Structure 1
Amino acid sequence: MNSSQIPQQYLQIDFLSALFEAMPDLYFLVSLDGVIKDFRGRQLDQLYVPPEAFLDRHVEEVLPAPVAAQFVQALSEAAQTDNVVTFEYQLSVRGADAWFEARISALRDHQQAVCVVRNFSELHEARKQLESMAHYDALTGLANRALLDKLLEQSVRSARRNQQRMGVMFIDLDRFKDVNDTLGHAAGDLLLQLASRRLQGTLRESDTLARVGGDEFVVVLDDLESIDSASGVARKLMNDMCTPFDLQGTEVVISCSIGISIFPDDADNASRLLSYADTAMYRAKQQGRNDWRFYTADMTRAAMEHLELIEALRAALEDNSLTQLYQPQFDCETGRSVGVEALARWPRPGRDSLGPQRFITLAEQAGLARRLDRWSLESACRQLHRWLEERHDPGAVSVNLSIHSLTDETLPEAVASLLHDYAIPAHHLQIEIKELALLGERPVARDCLKALIALGVDIAVDDFGSGYAALEYLRALPVTTLKIDAAFMRDVPGDPEQAIIANTVIAMGRALGMKVVAKGIENAEQADFIRHQHGIQGQGYYFSHPLSPEQVGELLD
């Protein structure tokens, strides 16, 4: 008998059986009142109880009460509508927690429902880690600035309510930059991890420790018995920091400078306490490092120096004395440069260098962020015009813009004028954004980004993944490129869990039809990992440090 002689219904049954076996799901036929009538699927070993125990049993008899209640409610909802009802639940399977998604669709004419169950434990774990990164520093595991702000506000409210003292310590590791420059970023990262553990080990469990910058930490000391108690903590922290660190066989000795502010003696709100502790820390640095200082009212000079720095930055923008470097992005499969990211630098001859993050933060504080953005845009367009005139094709030049510019209705017109004045095809310009969640909540920002897309400009999300809450805005905003946060690549491929998260984020970008750029590629193993993803671009010190315009030209020759 050939296939044409086989009754159609048998062919359909064979097809469905093969489909059930091929799919990574469990399939149940359930009466609308909750009795399991049949089941299929090759993942039966994932069931909470043996498969045969399910048949003709009510869900309440075979599932834990909370999960059974979810099924009963979903069956009731599906019976009343034509919608597919979806919910998630957690079970212990073979001694380990597992997460499942159930999708229920009613067959009302038959008083039954089809239930499809899928194990998504790996994705759930990746999601948890993404959510964690919104509140915790990826390198040290400490609270980040966003979480610190919340915890500090809570501590101030508690101290005010209970009429207690509390303290804030701002800690900066002395000469950390020297370690980074001489031993490399990997050694610097290890030092930060070891230092954070040492700090944590000295503090009480009730104290809060957060990492708020490259080598900056903040401690919140609740329920201080006296101001002298803060001195005792500072002394212990400093002594611990002076003990040598072993960086994979290299002994490194550092110290730290600490600034302290006290509630309610110095200030009665969180922001001032943090600012005053920062001011006191800079006084400790200025007076020789490896020491601590309490904030005092006569530290106004520090505030004056801050204002002088702001005026110097304002002057640098006026006389165009800032410079721009460019870090290439590479196609990992071909090794070809496909774009560059423009990075602002502030050279200060005869004075201490000021890192980009510091003067960018300074610009934010001084209300100069929009002017800095416009300078960056025009400088990048001017240089792009020169490269094109020299018959170099740098690909897209990425320019980071702050939320201040992206909520400025005049930005699209300004970009259009720059493209026209410098005769630049729009696809050569890319705008990078970071504050995705904030932008998503502001209609003017969405309109601004849509107008830029209409010009032909590419929109990239920088440091994607550092805040899971921002994922929901990807569909709402006209984003075309995702630049994965370097934190995802730090332990790839050696750490299997980190590799799963990196793959998940890459898959998210691809599923949304976006170009994906992996940042922070610093070694051959990371480059190989990205190369095997096919079509993913890479950026980092392994490929190239930031280059001068002339060096970029030589690279493109």
Structure 2
Amino acid sequence: MKSHTTYKKLIAKTVILSLLASLAVAFIYGVFIKKRAIDDLARVDARKTSRLAFEALYSAMEKGWSKEELDAIIVRLNKVEPNMRINAYRSPIVAALFGDREADKNIREHDSMVMSAMKGEEILTGDDEIRYLYPIVVNQECITCHTNAHVGDINGVIDVRFPVANLKISLTTMINSFIIFFVTFTIMIFAILYFRLNALLVQPINQFIGMIQEIISKNDMAKRVSLKTKILEVKNIESHFNKMLDSIQDYYEKLQELSDRDYLTGLYNRRKFEEFLTYEIKRSLRHHHQFTVLMIDLDNFKYINDTYGHASGDLVLKEVTSIFASNLRNADVLARLGGDEFAVLLPETPYENGYAVVEKLRSRLESTPISLMFDQITLTASFGIAEYPEQGENIESLLTGSDLAMYKAKRAGKNTIARADQSDQEMAAEIQKKGEFLRRAIDDDCVEPFAQPIYNIQTGELFGYEVLARIRDGKRYMAAGQFIEVAESLGFAPKIDQIILTKGLNARGHKGLWDKRFFFNLSTKSLFDGAYVNVIQAHYGKDPKQSNSGVSIEILEREAIHNVNGLMDIIEEMKKIGISFALDDFGSGFSSFVYLKYFDTDFVKIDGEFVKNIAVNEKDRIFVKHIHQIAKEFGKLTIAEYVEDEETLEVLKEIGVDYAQGFYYGRPEPLI
């Protein structure tokens, strides 16, 4: 196992290393200065001293002093500087003329350096003690007295000795030496810091950045970072980053699964089913074989939800899934498109064989009882068949054909099988019939606003209402799900929106609910038409005491996906005049998180499919928790839908969700 060091230890080691290196440089430089002092400074000082000694002796000799008096001068000179010794030795030329001295003769014969100096060589030696031998060269003036000498001869040698410690170094030399040492030390410190930090810190960080860029560019969540470094902090960054990648990869895989699979039944969703269908079209085109697409819609499933509750409805969907799956081949693709609608792809299966499979599914579903609470129910479904390539050669035509066939089966009395017909006029007639019904409902003022209360989960106080469209048909009311698609396809949706918005706001003012927020659902055309703005502003003007607030528009993913940029501009403009927005059914589409990023909404309404089973389903609880946390990070309030019991409410309260609506708080009721 590699040992690692901390950043503090690295700095400490670097400083100590730099200090040791600088001390080594200082020592080497000190030796150099000392050598230079011996070679240069000592020579200058010794020559100067020798010259002074010679001049003193020469001055005395000019006056005719005896050799005893000259020795006395030498003694006095040695007293001037106690640590310095000066001696003068006669050469053989002087000894021959003025007489020799035994000491001088002994020195000349046994001291090799004196012998060299007598030949005219200037000598400087010594480590701890400096010895300088200065030869006295005969010049023209000396010949007057030294008649036996010639110019250039050596008359004697002055021997000067003193300790190295007595050398006097000039101030300039000291300053220059200090500057050189300081500059060298600084350069060395920075060089060591640069190379050490570059190798142990900068290079690993650059490597880290490069790996992150590679992960981003290749979208490779399986890749992990591995840094070559001895610094513990950098290694910890690597470890924590890899752990974060583990979490992201796990979350990404879960999201990928959610994007491919229906969370309730585990079946493929519409998007994945369309991928399989695209692949099968290409394969069939290449190999020239037929295949069949089935569209299945459960009969009277709304009755089960209304009678037994959504939890029981979910149980039924799972049982139906099991029945269908157990009667299909491994190669067949079963998908849940949404609600109680299923689809099946039968590869390499012509219509005749496909019809037999459908009849088997219909019969098994009809004959299999499903246990529900203290009761047993039997369920039927309507089946539509489309064959490739007879009923369609692309995805759109195949899905539309099987869908039309399924509606034909519904109209035929349910629990039946129908085949798509390209010239099917019955569906058009059905749509026209519904269109006439909507037109009469609008003309007869049968479009009514219903309101479902929204409560603050934490305080239990009433926060506001979601206003829903209903059509009065005799003594019963039709929910929006029964007519909204036809209304949008025939262009009646904006008119219905205008009626619900106007009646809803009038009821708010009439009942004095100015402190309650009202949420409205608008179609795509209404959103971009902008007529609703005048209605809302007129509503604000009815009570001058109230500020421009309290009205929110809910946005569905199917509205947002067609014009993201345009909707962003609308939200920005409407917020300036006090109209807020909410993302509805958040989490139902894989792109919901993208809209959270771009749309500046105030509220996020968590899709009820994730909420209704939160008390018993850990996955739903995790999903709601993360939606709430992400919404909070973006500064948005959360509203949970489909809250039908106290257990669900308690879980939402624990998570921290802000508001809730559902049967537990109240069903939609007429607002006027």
TM-score between the two structures when normalised by the length of structure 1? 0.74
Aligned to 2:452, the other structure's residue is in SS state strand
Distance 1:379 1:167, change over 3 A: farther
- Equivalent residue number for residue 524 of structure 1: 646
2:208 aligned with 1:74, yes or no? Answer: yes
Unaligned runs of 5+ in 1: 1-8, 14-30, 38-57, 60-70, 92-99, 551-557
Aligned to 1:223, the other structure's residue is in SS state coil
Give the AA of the match of 1:181: D
Displacement, 1:473? 3.3
2:507 aligned with 1:386, yes or no? Answer: no
Give the AA of the match of 1:290: N
- Equivalent residue number for residue 629 of structure 2: 507
- Equivalent residue number for residue 361 of structure 1: 485
Aligned to 2:437, the other structure's residue is in SS state helix
Displacement, 1:281? 2.2
2:605 aligned with 1:489, yes or no? Answer: no
2:498 aligned with 1:377, yes or no? Answer: no
C-alpha separation in 1, matches of 2:199 and 2:319: 55
One of 262, 271, 289 as aligned partner of 1:137:
262
Give the AA of the match of 1:379: K
2:517 aligned with 1:396, yes or no? Answer: yes
C-alpha separation in 2, matches of 1:435 and 1:76: 37
2:467 aligned with 1:342, yes or no? Answer: yes
Structure with greater strand percent: 1
Give the AA of the match of 1:447: D
Give the AA of the match of 2:393: D
2:563 aligned with 1:429, yes or no? Answer: no
- Equivalent residue number for residue 327 of structure 1: 452
Higher RCO structure (Cα 8 Å, ≥6 apart): 1
Distance 1:301 1:115, change over 3 A: closer
C-alpha separation in 2, matches of 1:334 and 1:279: 49
Distance 1:73 1:250, change over 3 A: farther
- Equivalent residue number for residue 65 of structure 1: none
C-alpha separation in 1, matches of 2:198 and 2:563: 43
Per-residue CA deviations over 1:511-544 (Å, capped at 9, x if unaligned) read: 1111111112122111111222346111111221
Aligned to 2:472, the other structure's residue is in SS state coil
Distance 1:116 1:427, change over 3 A: farther
Distance 1:540 1:289, change over 3 A: same
C-alpha separation in 2, matches of 1:355 and 1:176: 15
- Equivalent residue number for residue 360 of structure 2: 236
Give the AA of the match of 1:220: L
2:311 aligned with 1:190, yes or no? Answer: no
Does the Cα contact within 8 Å between 1:342 and 1:380 map onto a contact in 2?
yes
Displacement, 1:36? 9.7
Distance 1:87 1:266, change over 3 A: closer
Does the Cα contact within 8 Å between 1:134 and 1:466 map onto a contact in 2?
no
Per-residue CA deviations over 1:84-103 (Å, capped at 9, x if unaligned) read: 99998558xxxxxxxx8x79
Distance 1:485 1:165, change over 3 A: same
2:251 aligned with 1:117, yes or no? Answer: no
Aligned to 2:605, the other structure's residue is in SS state strand
One of 293, 313, 328 as aligned partner of 1:168:
293
Distance 1:414 1:210, change over 3 A: farther
Give the AA of the match of 2:537: A
Aligned to 2:591, the other structure's residue is in SS state helix
TM-score between the two structures when normalised by the length of structure 2? 0.62
C-alpha separation in 1, matches of 2:557 and 2:230: 45
Displacement, 1:349? 2.9
One of 399, 408, 412 as aligned partner of 1:287:
412
Give the AA of the match of 1:474: L
C-alpha separation in 1, matches of 2:440 and 2:275: 36
C-alpha separation in 1, matches of 2:560 and 2:497: 18
Distance 1:466 1:127, change over 3 A: farther
Structure with greater helix percent: 2
Distance 1:165 1:539, change over 3 A: same
Distance 1:435 1:89, change over 3 A: closer
Aligned to 1:450, the other structure's residue is in SS state helix
Displacement, 1:477? 1.9
Aligned to 2:597, the other structure's residue is in SS state coil
Root-mean-square deviation over aligned CA pairs = 4.0
The number of residue pairs the alignment matches comes to 474
Does the Cα contact within 8 Å between 2:448 and 2:670 map onto a contact in 1?
no
C-alpha separation in 2, matches of 1:85 and 1:160: 35
C-alpha separation in 2, matches of 1:430 and 1:287: 42
Q: Which deviates further from its counterpart, 450-459 or 498-507?
A: 498-507
Displacement, 1:419? 3.8
Give the AA of the match of 2:449: Q
- Equivalent residue number for residue 48 of structure 1: none
C-alpha separation in 2, matches of 1:129 and 1:469: 15
Distance 1:182 1:425, change over 3 A: same
C-alpha separation in 2, matches of 1:340 and 1:394: 11
Structure label with greater radius of gyration: 2
Does the Cα contact within 8 Å between 1:34 and 1:75 map onto a contact in 2?
no
Does the Cα contact within 8 Å between 2:261 and 2:267 map onto a contact in 1?
yes
Give the AA of the match of 1:241: L
